[in-house]
Chains A and B, each alone.
Chain A
Amino acid sequence: MDALELDFGLPLRSFRLELALALGRETFALVGPSGAGKTTVLRAVAGLAKPEHGRIRLGGEVLFDSAAGIDVPPEDRRVGFVFQDYALFPHMTVAQNVAYGARGRAAELLERFRIAHLAGARPGELSGGERQRVGLARALAREPGVLLLDEPLSALDPHTRAALRLELRELLDELDLPVLLVTHDFHDAAVLADRVAALADGTVRQVGTPSELIAAPADAFVASFTGANVLAGVARSGAGGLTEVALAGGGVVYSVDEAVGDVEVAVYPWDVSISREPPDDSALNHVRGPITSLVVLGNRARVQVRGLVGEVTAASAERLGLREDEVVMASFKAAATRLVERAPTTSGR
């Protein structure tokens, strides 16, 4: 039996939130741009927002059922909620925060989350990472049946973020609880979650493991959200079973995916190679043009050629002597060229 089952609709300001999801004992991430309705999903599970219709079930217990007139108030739901910015009570100490909802195991949680030495401190004195641990300890103190995390890493600076992401992942693995988290960062979701649902304008576009979403994005929104280059074009079947796509920005590329008519071409940066001469490898697609931007980050270099971002090692960028405005060739294989549907709405927000 699934641990958490959602199937509800809720009107928001500019669109309707409609979704059906079932979670087991796994970490499940709802990803999408800000304003996609992600936080409202968590609020509905916690009882802080009321769906217009539908059902929410946690384990054997019905939390909400519009048909049966059931709407369990938030304080009676076995739900642990870690708010964005953590919402720690500023007038209470760490120990008082954790004990607020505890069933007599606050001390044990302080030990477990390595915050026992902060027991007497106020939230205002804590670092971002410490706040997160207090927020988690407080949410788990009620022994919830599901843990909800709202943008768990967004309140942190980039420096602590990477370290805490891994720490959080280990912690969630140990919990053996269904965890529903929302984030606008696909990278965070990929590290933290077993499965991911891409949400845009209130509807789920695709559900799968992070690698499934990257391997076969369902539409242009998912492709661009997972980090792909997305180029508009018109497809027709070409020679050798390949599909030929005339790009809107000029040029033709080939794909092994079948499609006809208006499509979006999705290519991930790590599938794009950069060279000075037409390469003699098997890459079928070439885009030639000046480098519009070149950013070196650690041992990787991101090179942009006519709207197409390619990622190469910093070493090879140096070996090729790449510089901005220099004309180069960006190449990618037909097998790495995915053809996806245009997103139903222009929700690249």
Chain B
Amino acid sequence: MRRRRLFDLAIAGATVLALTFLLLPLVAIFLRVPLGKLVSQLWSDVAVDALVVTLETNAIAQALILLVGTPTAYFIATRRFRGRALAITLVELPLVLPPAVAGLALLAAFGRLGLLGSTFDVLGITVSTGTKTAVILAVAYVASPFYIRGAIASFESLDKPLLDASRTLGAGPARTFFRIALPLAAKGLGAAAALSFARGIGEFGATIMFAGSLQGVTQTLSLAIYAQFDLDFDVALSLGALLVVVCAAILFTVKLLPAWTRSSSTSVYPFAPSGSS
């Protein structure tokens, strides 16, 4: 009896310790400087420039990820082909790759002296260090696996007979994709996109290696925090606070999405056999 209470106490204590450790630094950001000053620092040139660069590059990168990643995920999820497992592993590789290595690799591939650098020059696109294109590439490279992986899972969990039914009702593969697969997978795709967006917003390692840190051009919020760290700690803190708020908002959105799905009884299909057949 006493031993059991001791055990309960021990695991509860560990939980309190872990939560405190994880939350304390985040709380500290907001406590170091008065809230009013924190907000006013956001109007400094560095902060505004970083915010604009971050939003602009991430908007383009996420658009590209959705545009290319969605069909990729649908293909991998619905077709059986040789090398499918390998394709999935390759998609996941950037997830575990150290960001510095990702930046180095992007430099070797797309940099002016890289594998495809001259090809891009011919196309009139300058990728090399110090361009927004480089930031977009870095963000797309590290963030896309989050989206594609989640999108594959949502497409795989679709009820296969629904896609078959669409075909027998005269809809070709394209109409089946747009009218059935996309709407039914939408919530999962949304959650995957939110995760990818969160990863992209906070991108640091690959961007600083590949694109550099030029204010107003390639300096995103994360890079600005690093740059302001030595110059004006208060600005760095206010940028950090902004990122904490944005990322927390994204996380809550992702957590809430499945709950909405469940509560809307009209779109639930209780007799559908579980999808992973």
Which of A71-79, A201-209, A247-255, A328-336 sits within the interface?
A71-79
Closest to B159 in A: A87
Does A260 have its Cβ within 8 Å of any Cβ on chain B?
A: no
Q: Is the CB of B168 within 8 A of A81?
A: yes
Known: A83-B161, A85-B161, A89-B180. A124 touches B168 (CB 8 A): no
Does A125 have its Cβ within 8 Å of any Cβ on chain B?
A: yes
Size of A's binding interface in residues, CB under 8 A: 33
Known: A85-B161, A90-B184. A123 touches B269 (CB 8 A): yes
Known: A122-B266, A124-B269. A101 touches B171 (CB 8 A): yes
| Docked pose: A47 CA to B172 CA in angstroms | 12
Does A80 have its Cβ within 8 Å of any Cβ on chain B?
A: yes
- CB pairs A–B below 8 angstroms (22 shown): A46-B167, A46-B168, A74-B168, A75-B167, A75-B169, A76-B170, A79-B168, A81-B165, A83-B161, A83-B164, A85-B272, A89-B166, A91-B183, A91-B184, A100-B169, A101-B168, A123-B269, A124-B266, A125-B266, A138-B165, A139-B168, A141-B169
With contacts A81-B165, A83-B164, A125-B266 known, what are 7 further pairs, Cβ within 8 A? A46-B164, A48-B167, A48-B168, A75-B168, A83-B161, A122-B267, A142-B170
Write out, one digit per residue, whether chain A residues 292-307 have a CB within 8 A of any chain B CB (1) or not (0).
Answer: 0000000000000000
B167 to chain A minimum Cβ distance, whole angstroms, is: 4
Residues of chain A within 8 A (CB-CB) of B265 are 124-125
A165 to chain B minimum Cβ distance, whole angstroms, is: 19
Residues of chain A within 8 A (CB-CB) of B165 are 81, 83, 87, 89, 138
| Docked pose: A94 CA to B161 CA in angstroms | 17
Residues of chain B within 8 A (CB-CB) of A85 are 161, 271-273
| Docked pose: A73 CA to B269 CA in angstroms | 27
Q: Is the CB of A87 within 8 A of B266?
A: no
Q: Quick one: which of A46, A83, A91, A141 contacts B267, CB cutoff 8 A?
A: A91
Closest to B161 in A: A87
| Docked pose: A88 CA to B273 CA in angstroms | 12
Residues of chain A whose beta carbon lies under 8 Å from any beta carbon of chain B: 43, 46-48, 73-77, 79-81, 83-91, 100-101, 122-125, 131, 138-139, 141-142, 155
Residues of chain A within 8 A (CB-CB) of B266 are 122, 124-125
Q: Quick one: which of A87, A100, A138 contacts B171, CB cutoff 8 A?
A: A100
* Chain B stretch 94-134: residues in CB contact (< 8 A) with chain A: none
Closest to A74 in B: B167
Residues of chain B whose beta carbon lies under 8 Å from any beta carbon of chain A: 159, 161-162, 164-172, 179-180, 183-184, 265-273
Q: Is the CB of B172 within 8 A of A75?
A: yes
| Docked pose: A202 CA to B16 CA in angstroms | 61
Q: Is the CB of B170 within 8 A of A90?
A: no
A98 to chain B minimum Cβ distance, whole angstroms, is: 10
B73 to chain A minimum Cβ distance, whole angstroms, is: 19
A81 to chain B minimum Cβ distance, whole angstroms, is: 4
Q: Is the CB of B171 within 8 A of A75?
A: yes
Q: Is the CB of A73 within 8 A of B172?
A: yes
Closest to A93 in B: B266
Known: A75-B171, A90-B268. A48 touches B162 (CB 8 A): no
Residues of chain A within 8 A (CB-CB) of B169 are 75, 100-101, 138-139, 141-142
Q: Is the CB of A124 within 8 A of B267?
A: yes
- 8 nearest CB pairs, A to B: A101-B169, A90-B269, A87-B161, A74-B167, A81-B168, A87-B165, A122-B266, A101-B170
Residues of chain B within 8 A (CB-CB) of A90 are 162, 184, 267-269, 272
| Docked pose: A79 CA to B272 CA in angstroms | 22
A333 to chain B minimum Cβ distance, whole angstroms, is: 46
Closest to A148 in B: B168
